[in-house]
Amino acid sequence: MRQEAAWNRGDIAAFMSGYWKSPDVRFLSGDKIVSGWNETHARYRAKYATRAQMGTLGFTDLRVDMLAPTRRSSSADGGSSAQAIGRTASSR
């Protein structure tokens, strides 16, 4: 998976390319919800400021559900909306 590989080489920008670049994106982790692509990117940069803090990431039990086509006005590529749910395993 491209996001996993990007994370494991310490490339948060490439990791974030897997997210819908929209203020409507939502990221859930534990009991925290972050709304917005910029806010999600900022959260990752703050929480994982160094390569050592990032550790190694792996995804398991990944499920991607296609939700609906997106309007071209809200998606740069006119793609589709999806919801991805899974578990992450990380080591530092």
The number of helix segments (H) and strand segments (E) in the chain equals 4, 4
DSSP SS3 for 44: helix
Specify the pLDDT at position 73.
45
Of 18-27, 44-53, 80-89, give the lowest mean pLDDT range: 80-89
Tally of domains within the chain:
1
Residue numbers of the domain that contains 82? 2-91
List, for residues 34-57, the tens digit of each pLDDT value: 999 999 999 999 999 999 999 999
Is 10 in contact with 51 (CB distance < 8 Å)? yes
Q: For residue 63, give the CATH number of its domain.
A: 3.10.450.50
